[in-house]
Amino acid sequence: MTTTAPQQPPLPELPGWPDGLTRVPYWIFQRDDVYAAEQQRLFRGPHWNYLCLEAELAEPGQFRTSWLGDTPVIVSRGRDGELYAFENRCAHRGALIALEDRGCAMEFTCVYHAWTYSVEGELTGVAFKDGINGKGGMPESFRMAEHWPRKLRLAVLHGLVFGSFDNDVPDLEEYFGEEITDRIERVLGGRTPVVLGRFTQMLPNNWKLYVENVKDSYHASILHLFFTTFELNKLNMRGGIIVSPGGGHHVSYSAIDRSGSDPSAENRGYADQKIRSESGYRLADPSLLDGFDECGDDTTLQILSTFPAFVLQQIQNSVAVRQILPRGPGRTELNWTLLGFEEDTPEQRRVRLKQANLVGSAGYISMEDGCVGGFVQRGVAGAADQAAVLRMGGESAESSESRVTEASVRGFWQAYLAAMGMRSDVSA
């Protein structure tokens, strides 16, 4: 997928990484120098990072601010109707150009010295450029066209806007591959998303611990006891894991199995493992889960992640995108955007609002993900020389019909090691 670009500074001197993909040394979650290298190689490097929704930029002049990792950027709809993205950094002395999250403007003015930029990101004015009364001002040789904020490459797929600072990154669909692209289309294709809410969750852990959690289908029915406690998995589910060829992208999905197999078999599996008892608890209002077939294919859950740090979820009728932003080695900003669609009936919209209770910082099935990364971050504090074990479902990073596997987590590390240039024997 990628090789280390030649202009990149060398990696800092780092401890060794065990062979294979089954051990993850804990220093990778702790070091400032790793964090800095990630910003450079993953977030400013040859990868596509999610910025925003195209639906948030419907009209010319609409803009929103976002980030490529640490780097603040502005994404806008130009006067010509095209999308533009550029660093949110004045070319003069580096101040933020736009301070609001969203808005509409044909021009941005930096508050510091009133340098102005068009909504397309071109420098259009420099205050007192020609001085006053022939004195002061910029020299003759100053050219505004030489001082634009850095532009991003942009790509839009089914309403999702991705950006990259790197001109060598492959086209977006090639970067994702066909299976992942198809699974994005499955949820978003041919529909017009409507934002139902935006929420930010601050996680007390390294961003990669959250990515591991998203890709970890092994934990889902163990840590998240909401469905099992209330015995909501009445139907046997079929499903599986898709790991993209380079390892970096994944889909975990499950669907109603109408083949008539014994639904109690899976329940017995849980009882055998003493993971839960037969609780007898029931929801007082089970309308929470009175959903509809989201995409007409009986698939009730699809968690999709792309490398390095983006998630598209369909959990029953709760559809959301999650932007994962590292905020230091031990802190992560998780931006949730909950979606409906213009095509929703009022009843469907109500279902989405009810099922939003499943996700986010107060979500019945995702609140645990907010704290478990912190438990790891704190747990490994004195163990930089130790390593996690990832051997569920074998040692490779391949698609599988079983979700009792850590294959997609191994896939992430495969893509990560290759993109970071950390192990010459690993390619993505």
Site for other proteins, rule CB under 8 A = 101, 195-204, 223, 225-226, 228-230, 279, 281, 283-285, 287-288, 338, 349-350, 352-354, 356-357, 360-362, 364, 367-368, 370-371, 374-375
The minimum distance between CB 230 and other proteins, in angstroms, equals 7
The minimum distance between CB 101 and other proteins, in angstroms, equals 8
3-state secondary structure of 400: strand
Q: Rank residues 123 and 338 by Cβ distance to other proteins and give the closer one.
A: 338
Give the C-alpha separation, 236 to 329, whole Å. 40
Longest dimension (CA), the chain: 89
The minimum distance between CB 225 and other proteins, in angstroms, equals 4
Task: Find the angle CA(44)-CA(50)-CA(55) to the nearest 5 degrees.
Answer: 140
The minimum distance between CB 283 and other proteins, in angstroms, equals 5
Radius of gyration for the alpha carbons in the chain, expressed in angstroms and rounded = 23
Q: Rank residues 36 and 105 by Cβ distance to other proteins and give the closer one.
A: 105
The minimum distance between CB 229 and other proteins, in angstroms, equals 4
Give the C-alpha separation, 16 to 31, whole Å. 14
The minimum distance between CB 212 and other proteins, in angstroms, equals 17
Give the C-alpha separation, 24 to 386, whole Å. 8
Q: Rank residues 162 and 364 by Cβ distance to other proteins and give the closer one.
A: 364
Q: Rank residues 353 and 387 by Cβ distance to other proteins and give the closer one.
A: 353
Q: Rank residues 169 and 356 by Cβ distance to other proteins and give the closer one.
A: 356
Q: How many secondary structure helices (H) and strands (E) does the chain include?
A: 10, 19
Q: Rank residues 187 and 339 by Cβ distance to other proteins and give the closer one.
A: 339
Q: Are 303 and 263 within 8 A, CB to CB?
A: no
Give the C-alpha separation, 233 to 274, whole Å. 17
| Nearest C-alpha neighbor of 392 from the set 375, 376, 409 | 409
Exposed e or buried b for every residue in 406-419, given b needs 16+ CB within 10 A? bbbbbbbbbbbbbb
